[in-house]
Structure 1
Amino acid sequence: MAPGRQVEVYLDLMSQPCRAVHILLDCTRIPHKVRYVALRRGENRTPDFAKLNPMQKVPVLVDHGFILTESDAILKYLASRADVPQHWYPRQPERRARVDEYTAWHHSNTRPHAAKVFMLEVLLPARSGSQVDEERLIRALSQLDDTLDKLETMFLRRQPFLCGDDVTVADLLAVCELMQPLGGGRDVLQARPQLRRWRSKVQAAVGDAFDRAHAVLYDVRDRRKAKL
């Protein structure tokens, strides 16, 4: 990416994939402009936004007329185009394939299973005014536990990060999903020391960018605590 060239990103930081993009941009200092899109207000359904992404979802990246959707593609594009350390999305074929392996798995495992816990504990009760459906929540937590088992046995094994010895875009996608249930006061990694150590390593690798991206989620958690 040419020096001084700035990309635009359309984000809502209550969205897990948006936080992953935000963290990469923030901690690597890629020149960028954030345009916030409040999903709860329907700002993603305006005609102007639909021109950018007919799917009406965030994140969206605009790089001098080039429009890209889907967080996985955006993260890999930024890591490939910008002058950032190679570990984010390695050029070496086998190491890059490990990142691609996780991100392909992520979209039908980590992402839906962690998101469902948050949806059942926070979003649905807030929208409907009803109580949490405990039976559905128990099933969702069981699915998430199976995913966490696989994260430990398939991906982490004895290595510090999901795809090897260095942090990659795969770690950002995963950690942002697994933080989401914290909005309902639930730390899904509390009883899993291996995954807690991994989360701490990711936080250390990205520094203050982690908490800046998650400030909105922390606020949701704190407001819920204050009501109890």
Structure 2
Amino acid sequence: AILRYLSAKGKIPEHLYPKYFVDQSRVDEFLEWQHMSLRLTCAMYFRTVWLEPLLTGRTPSEAKIEAFRMQMERNLDVVEEVWLEGKDFLTGSSLTVADIFAACEIEQTRMADYDVRIKYPKIRAWLKRVRQSCNPYYDVAHEFVYKISGTGPQAKL
């Protein structure tokens, strides 16, 4: 809702959240899908593997980690095989807020020792395009992720 409000107020550039209803509906379609799929599963994996042990000092069970990893990978498979099929970006040929939202969800999993770039070549190439399109802001926003994970832009896979 906040995205639509800010767009209506002219606070989001049209190339990131298109005003033309067909293009906007593609972005909205991804955002609706990702909220209860990609976002949820990446966040739960990150929370279970990295955040909860940091806050509680307790190590999660391997079964719990594996369950969240499998759920997350099912959604990463959909990104790889459906959303990025034949496209440079999630909803077409140019960057939108859908790409920015998804990249942030995926990037946080690096802090939990999961580097999506290893298993998913389309996602790896897409993340590179998103980063190039958003820099220098992308690197600033992900500085903590890079530091904790040791997987910054200069790190080798």
Fold similarity call, TM over 0.5: yes
Letter in 2 for 1:143: Q
Larger Rg: 1
Which residue number corresponds to residue 4 of structure 1?
Answer: none
**Structure 2 CA distance for partners of 1:195 and 1:93, relative to 1, 3 Å:** same
Q: Tell me how far apart the structure 2 counterparts of residues 187 and 77 of structure 1 sit (CA, whole Å).
A: 34
Which residue number corresponds to residue 183 of structure 1?
Answer: 111
Match of 2:57 among 129, 137, 142: 129
Letter in 2 for 1:160: D
**Structure 2 CA distance for partners of 1:87 and 1:123, relative to 1, 3 Å:** same
Q: Tell me how far apart the structure 2 counterparts of residues 152 and 186 of structure 1 sit (CA, whole Å).
A: 16
Provide the aligned C-alpha RMSD in A.
1.7
**Structure 2 CA distance for partners of 1:200 and 1:76, relative to 1, 3 Å:** farther
Question: Any unmatched runs of 5+ in structure 1?
Answer: 1-72, 223-228
Query: Is contact 2:80-2:120 (8 Å) kept?
Result: no
Query: Is contact 1:184-1:220 (8 Å) kept?
Result: no
Write the mapping of 1:20-169 to structure 2, written as runs, cut at 5 A. 73-82=1-10, 85-169=13-97
Is 2:116 aligned against 1:206? no
Q: What is the percent sequence identity of the aligned residues?
A: 32
Letter in 2 for 1:130: R
Q: Tell me how far apart the structure 2 counterparts of residues 165 and 80 of structure 1 sit (CA, whole Å).
A: 23
What is the TM-score when the length of structure 1 is the normalising length? Answer: 0.61
Larger % of strand: which? 1
Q: Tell me how far apart the structure 2 counterparts of residues 202 and 138 of structure 1 sit (CA, whole Å).
A: 28
| Alignment deviations for residues 39-67 of structure 1 (CA, whole Å, 9 cap, x no partner) | xxxxxxxxxxxxxxxxxxxxxxxxxxxxx
Q: Tell me how far apart the structure 2 counterparts of residues 204 and 191 of structure 1 sit (CA, whole Å).
A: 21
What is the TM-score when the length of structure 2 is the normalising length? Answer: 0.87
SS of equivalent to 1:189: helix
| Alignment deviations for residues 86-124 of structure 1 (CA, whole Å, 9 cap, x no partner) | 221111111110001000111110111001111111111
**Structure 2 CA distance for partners of 1:188 and 1:135, relative to 1, 3 Å:** same
What is the aligned residue count? 150
Q: Tell me how far apart the structure 1 counterparts of residues 8 and 125 of structure 2 sit (CA, whole Å).
A: 28
Q: Tell me how far apart the structure 2 counterparts of residues 124 and 154 of structure 1 sit (CA, whole Å).
A: 32
Question: Any unmatched runs of 5+ in structure 2?
Answer: 151-157
**1:85 Cα deviation after fit:** 4.1
Is 2:102 aligned against 1:174? yes
